[in-house]
Structure 1
């Protein structure tokens, strides 16, 4: 596998995780704003942090499509993309949003890391 494909894959994965983090961050704003209905939905949509999250999803999608088009197998790319993204978001949630991780989540992270390591080995062949 070419280094460029792996690099773009990692960038796409990072933007996907960033998108989730930004969307969560955009929801932490002013809790007193309870604008109802469509107006509230539009107001949420134009929130700059939420919009940055949407843009991050778009960049991730373009990068992911590109690496699939360059021959990265879907059976390898999708499990790595989702599981590594899951770990990044879990850890970022603990750091940035002070969400507590319990022992079962840490065990899950360890198992996912082992699974990613076993699966990703093929990426470097």
Structure 2
């Protein structure tokens, strides 16, 4: 993985000053909790998907927003991007180990929320 904000374990053990505006953890948190970041991470928990499959799985996201969201999550080291040299190129996205760790509590949160909501027929 290149270009992500993951740090070697020695540095990762140090506490980040997340309330400072220049903290690199804030960028990752912003990408994860963005309007579409949560949905991309949860969608990829089921396995690798190609761009159009991701777009179809997340109703309401535009191609532009999906591309922008994926770019940030790839840069953060949460999502990996694999390009097969075909014509046209086939691009597949999947979670990195870091992405799986981050997406697990998001999936749990979604499960808790949907379990507590009233049934669709209830008022």
TM-score if structure 2 supplies the norm length? 0.34
Instruction: Give the number of the structure whose residues are more often helix, by fraction.
Output: 1
Q: Highest Rg: 1 or 2?
A: 1
